[in-house]
Amino acid sequence: MPITSVTKDPEALTMTVVAEFPVPVERLWDAYTDPRQIERFWGPVEWPATFTRHDCAVGGRTDYYMTGPDGERSGGYWTWLAVDPGRSFEVEDGFATEDAESNPDLPSMRMTFTFESTPAGSRLTTTTRFPSLEALEQLLGMGMEEGMRSAMSQIDAVVADLESFAAGRGTESQILSDTQVRISRVIRGSAAQVWRAHHEPELMRRWLLGPEGWTMPVCVVARNVGDSYRNEWAPVAGGAADGQPGFGFEGELLASEPPYREVTTERMIGMPGEGNVNELTLIPRSDGTTLLSLLITYPNAEMRDMILGTGMTDGMETSYARLEEEVLAPA
pLDDT tens digits, one per residue of 261-270 = 999 999 999 9
- Residues 319, 256, single domain; the answer is yes
- Residues 219, 306, single domain; the answer is yes
Boundary-marking domain end, from 165, 188, 218:
165
Mean pLDDT of the chain: 93
Q: Which pLDDT value is given to residue 199?
A: 97
123 has which bridge partners?
20, 116
- Residues 63, 114, single domain; the answer is yes
Containing domain of residue 12, as a range? 3-165
Residue 236 in contact with residue 214, Cβ under 8 Å?
yes
Say how many domains are in the chain.
2
- Residues 81, 159, single domain; the answer is yes
Burial (CB count within 10 angstroms: exposed 0-12, middle 13-18, buried 19+), residue 186: buried
Taking the whole predicted model, whether its pTM rises above 0.85 is answered as yes
- Residues 188, 233, single domain; the answer is yes
- Residues 48, 155, single domain; the answer is yes
Q: pLDDT tens, 264-312?
A: 999 999 988 889 999 999 999 988 999 999 999 999 999 999 999 989 9
- Residues 217, 160, single domain; the answer is no
Where do the H-state alpha helices sit in the chain?
Answer: 25-33, 35-38, 133-141, 144-152, 155-160, 191-197, 201-207, 301-308, 312-322
Boundary-marking domain end, from 165, 198, 219:
165
Residue 312 in contact with residue 171, Cβ under 8 Å?
no
CA atoms of 300 and 297, how far apart (whole Å): 9
- CATH number for position 60: 3.30.530.20
Q: Which pLDDT value is given to residue 330?
A: 77
Q: Which pLDDT value is given to residue 167?
A: 65
CA atoms of 1 and 88, how far apart (whole Å): 22
CA atoms of 109 and 78, how far apart (whole Å): 10
Q: pLDDT tens, 125-143?
A: 999 999 999 999 999 999 9
pLDDT at 115 over 90: yes
Phi, psi of 259, deg, nearest 5:
-105, 40
Please give the share of the chain, as a percent, with pLDDT higher than 90. Answer: 85
- Residues 140, 203, single domain; the answer is no
Closest CA to 17 of 131, 147, 137: 147
Binning the chain into helix, strand and coil, the percentages to the nearest 5 are 25, 40, 35
CA atoms of 113 and 168, how far apart (whole Å): 29
